[in-house]
Structure 1
Amino acid sequence: MEDLASEFLSTVEEAVLRGAVDDRDDETLHEAVAATDSAKKGTSLRQNLFKAASLQDKLLEKLISQMIPVDDAAPDQVPGIAGADDHHMPTFGERPGFTVTAMSNNFRRFNARIGVMFKFQARVLRVLSWRRPSHTLSLLAVYTFVCLDPYLLCVLPLAIALFGIFVPSFVARHPAPSSDPDRVRNLGYSPRGPPLAPARTVKPAKELSRDFFHNLGELQNTMDDFSVAHDKIVALVVPTTNFSDEALSSAIFVLLFAACVFMMLAAHLLPWRLLALAGGWAAIWSFHPSVARLIHQAKRHYMLPGDGKPGDGGKTGKPDITKPINKNVEGIFDDWVRSDIILDEAPETREVEIFELQRVDSSSGEWEPWMFSPSPYDPLSAPRIAGERPRGTRFFEDVLAPDGWEWSEKKWALDLWSREWVEERIITGVEVETEGERWVYDIYSESDAAATAGMISVVVDAQSPPVRNPNGHGGAAAASHHHLPNVSWEEGEEGMGRRGEWRRRRWVRMVKRKNVS
């Protein structure tokens, strides 16, 4: 901030010195040439204004650069940019970042050149408002020919270029002679001969001119119209399409789907030319002053407030005949939505599972709880072969429902059909317990015991203690450093022999979709 202040002060001093020099020059020129004094003063005033504006722009740029860091990352370094490695695509470095000076310059240039669009908009409104009926009728004639013969739509841009650009430009170069009856009489227009006037060009409006400020006013009004139209469209369309009211959005979806099916089957049977012709004529005639006056009178006649009672300004109101019709239509639509759109169905339910893993303590021979894992950690599972430890949580209460779901049952239930989930997963090398606690044990093998002997014990979970064998060693997580155990491919029966170091059983619980209000 100190560097910013010093730079700002130095810039101010330079501007003051330059202003002083300009004042001395103005005094000298005033003494020398009195005729050019006002022009020089105007020039110096404009220069001082631009200097002050540039000082403000520089100060704002410094403040913005201090508050908002400029992102100069390359496209290949920005995540989510598709085609960042394509050398033919423009990069962010080729376009300047946001600066107050560039913003103000571009806005002035844009405002000086946007007058053409406002003039075109004014002419379109003038034609549609029937200010010159001949122009509006000509538009209707052209529209009629295009509707009756749509191939003329290809000729329309060419005709506009000929009669809207070239002919007026030629007439501007070869103007008609004076029509003053006192000087020249009976002279018709002739395009022959050399050009009599300079060519017509489109020039941007000068800054601080009347046209410049006129463009500013039109741009201001256009932005206000766009904001109002945007808010009205959002208020009308978004609540009916974002499923905030699921019944209404579902009904509109059904109607649109039916309309799509109908249009795919019957679109070629509709008289599109006549429909476009009738719609265009109706839209343009609705802007006629007489038609607009009749519509306004009809609205006042049927929608006049008051019922002739004292206190309503002496107005004799009449019933609004459109309200009963609208209410009937809305009532029919609401009844159809309530009867056919069913949204009170029970939420979707699913069954989730968790496997309780236990490991035998080689010193005491007792089974000790290990963790609750989403996978059974069977002998031929990928994490087991890779020597990875099982993943899960240590306590039953820490098992959470999936994202977007919630528990529909209070407790977990033990899966009594242990053989079924073992067969569904095609798990081999295990012994299935069909009675009692429904444990599924690993089948013991000598190669497995030899592979696990002498390994350094590891902590399976951050909260679980290490398991050691009588020799002070233990743990099967480092089995990848030795040869893999030779697990039997035959499924064992209950009580057939010695068991391995892991056992598991399956718990299930129902979940339902979480309702988001």
Structure 2
Amino acid sequence: MNNNASEPFVSRNEAVPIVSITGPEDDALTPESGRRTPGKRDAFKQALPTGKLKEKLDSLSGQPEMPESPNTVSDRLFTMLLQQVLPSHDIPNSSPTKDRQSRKHVDRPGFSLPVMSNNFRRFNARIGVAFVFQNRMIRLFSWKVPTQTLSFLTIYTFLCLEPTLLVVLPLALCLFFIMVPAFLTRHPPPPSNHPTDLYPLAGPALAPAPNIKPAPELSKDFFRNMRDLQNSMEDFSRLHDSLVTFLAPPTNFSNEALSSVLFLLLSATACVLFITSHLLPWRAIFLISGWSATCAGHPAVQSLMHATHTDTLIQDQEATARSWLLRLSNSDITLSSAPETREVEIFELQYRAMHTEDAEYEPFLFSPSPYAPLSPARIAGNRPRGTRFFEDVQAPKGWRWGDKKWTLDLLSKEWVEERCVTGVEVEIEGERWVTDILYDEEDLEEGGSSSPKHGKSKGKGKEKLAKRAWEEGNNLGGKGEWRRRRWVRIVERIAIENSGVS
């Protein structure tokens, strides 16, 4: 079977540019005869032939050459350098938002220069079909062949008037653009300058079946795909930058008043369309829009638009709409200038080593947790964490202090009950200390119930205290080694001033 019928899909609308690499070591041309004089490259080739050079590079690489991914020594050295510079694992993300490109969420191979080079060559050899489709769409909407554009508009009109024909469109495209050309390739029609009897339509196939194969590397088709890929990347970059320039300033709340007006208008429009969308003539809307967009690409319409400076008119209308939104935002939108405020807390912990009544509590540190008797850190035997002085307590990140000093929380009973702190004695008055209760070991062994060590208080008092998680301070002794009290302070969020206001 003849394999010449298998051709790659490439764009052949323009000539392939000549690619040349020159340098100081390239061979020079003599101006007299135009012949090339021997240079360093010829001497190198004579000293070391191509076959021996290839064997030398293969021995340096240490791996056999792959059929579609030839790895050079420079690729390997550069890959090893990148592996030393770049981290082998993902850097932990401190922000609350998830990184969807992280390998924790997507199990994909890591970066490798040989893999990157191999994948690019394979992708470039197979991307020709996309560029063929792109060029055909450009020819269609630029009215290069008016009959084709009018045929497209006719089909588009039928689809707008009868949307149920959309289910037929994929099947029709498969029949007319895939199967019919494939059949005509295997059963070619007779030439027009010969009798039909010499080329009967019946009988076996006269040509092999068409097949799509990748463009060979270093071929004209391969370089055509590289040219089209280069131009497509530039088109995408320009389109991306234009959309960001047009959509980002009014929608990213850099100007909060303008973005708020736009948010209200879009919300109102969405609510209205949610109710009245079924009343709109969508067939006529799509029909008129499609014809208008297609006719705008006609050369005569383009010449008329350039003559009437339509681009300038569109820019003027855009500036007018933006100024109207700015006036509306300045007149009707009032933003709250008061920063958000919150209340933060810190616990002052004091400690005493002796459990006698005359032992004094000494300042220990200021901790974000109360270090309660049944807290996980206390049970695990860990020491509390914090700072020794009030001045070292910093506001949370992104906040600043809203008042000048800390305030003692006088409602010690409320925060104890809110946190379900047990085994403590609460001062309702005075300095509002919440002190650990020192239980008698003998009482803990009797019946499994616990009671504080108060000397004379036993019996009914013991049963009463066993039912309560905490008790009010009565200065009868039996206090543990830790006590704490709560301090509060107001913080306000730091506002970030945006200089790029549109």
- The normalised TM-score by structure 1 is 0.66
Give yes or no for contact 1:448–1:485 (8 Å, CA) kept in 2.
no
Aligned CA distance change for structure 1 residues 508 and 63 (closer, same or farther; 3 Å)? same
Deviations 1:397-454 (A, max 9, x none): 2222223322111211122333443444455554444444333344454439999xxx
Classify the secondary structure of the residue corresponding to 1:68. helix
Amino acid in the other structure paired with 1:509: R
**2:366 paired residue number:** 372
Give the length in aligned residue pairs.
412
Residues 1:353 and 2:345 aligned together: yes
Amino acid in the other structure paired with 1:16: L
Give yes or no for contact 1:127–1:135 (8 Å, CA) kept in 2.
yes
**Match of residue 329, structure 1, among 299, 310, 321:** 321
Residues 1:232 and 2:255 aligned together: no
**2:441 paired residue number:** 447
**1:98 paired residue number:** 112
Give the superposition deviation at 1:155: 1.0
Deviations 1:193-250 (A, max 9, x none): 5555555444544554444433332222222212222222233333444333333333
Aligned CA distance change for structure 1 residues 173 and 230 (closer, same or farther; 3 Å)? same
Aligned CA distance change for structure 1 residues 105 and 513 (closer, same or farther; 3 Å)? closer
Amino acid in the other structure paired with 1:412: W
Give yes or no for contact 2:261–2:325 (8 Å, CA) kept in 1.
no
Deviations 1:129-187 (A, max 9, x none): 2222211111111111111111211111211222223333333444444444xx76x99
Q: Which runs of 5+ in 2 are unaligned?
A: 1-43, 55-64, 91-100, 453-464, 498-502
Residues 1:68 and 2:82 aligned together: yes
Aligned CA distance change for structure 1 residues 56 and 427 (closer, same or farther; 3 Å)? closer
Once residues 379 and 314 of structure 2 are traced to their aligned partners in structure 1, the CA distance between those partners, rounded to angstroms, is 81
Residues 1:264 and 2:260 aligned together: no
Once residues 385 and 448 of structure 1 are traced to their aligned partners in structure 2, the CA distance between those partners, rounded to angstroms, is 21
Amino acid in the other structure paired with 2:74: L
How high is the sequence identity, in percent, across the aligned residues? 48
Once residues 225 and 321 of structure 1 are traced to their aligned partners in structure 2, the CA distance between those partners, rounded to angstroms, is 22
Give the superposition deviation at 1:384: 4.4
Amino acid in the other structure paired with 2:328: W
**Match of residue 477, structure 2, among 487, 490, 498:** 498
Classify the secondary structure of the residue corresponding to 1:346. coil
Q: How does 1:20-419 map to 2 (within 5 A)?
A: 57-69=71-83, 81-82=104-105, 92=109, 98-100=112-114, 103-104=116-117, 106-180=119-193, 191-192=201-202, 195=205, 199-299=209-309, 323=316, 326-360=318-352, 362=354, 365-379=359-373, 381=375, 383-384=377-378, 387-419=381-413
Amino acid in the other structure paired with 1:258: A
Aligned CA distance change for structure 1 residues 20 and 508 (closer, same or farther; 3 Å)? closer
Once residues 73 and 301 of structure 2 are traced to their aligned partners in structure 1, the CA distance between those partners, rounded to angstroms, is 57
Give yes or no for contact 1:443–1:492 (8 Å, CA) kept in 2.
no
Classify the secondary structure of the residue corresponding to 1:409. coil
Deviations 1:227-275 (A, max 9, x none): 2222222333334443333333333333333333333323322222221
Classify the secondary structure of the residue corresponding to 1:69. helix
**2:48 paired residue number:** 16
> Which is further off, 389-398 or 193-202?
193-202
Once residues 213 and 286 of structure 2 are traced to their aligned partners in structure 1, the CA distance between those partners, rounded to angstroms, is 39
Give the superposition deviation at 1:60: 1.3
Once residues 428 and 173 of structure 2 are traced to their aligned partners in structure 1, the CA distance between those partners, rounded to angstroms, is 88
Classify the secondary structure of the residue corresponding to 2:351. strand
Once residues 374 and 209 of structure 2 are traced to their aligned partners in structure 1, the CA distance between those partners, rounded to angstroms, is 88
Once residues 509 and 383 of structure 1 are traced to their aligned partners in structure 2, the CA distance between those partners, rounded to angstroms, is 25
Aligned CA distance change for structure 1 residues 296 and 188 (closer, same or farther; 3 Å)? farther
> Which is further off, 141-150 or 219-228?
219-228
Classify the secondary structure of the residue corresponding to 1:352. strand
- The normalised TM-score by structure 2 is 0.68
Give yes or no for contact 2:258–2:325 (8 Å, CA) kept in 1.
no
Once residues 210 and 284 of structure 2 are traced to their aligned partners in structure 1, the CA distance between those partners, rounded to angstroms, is 41
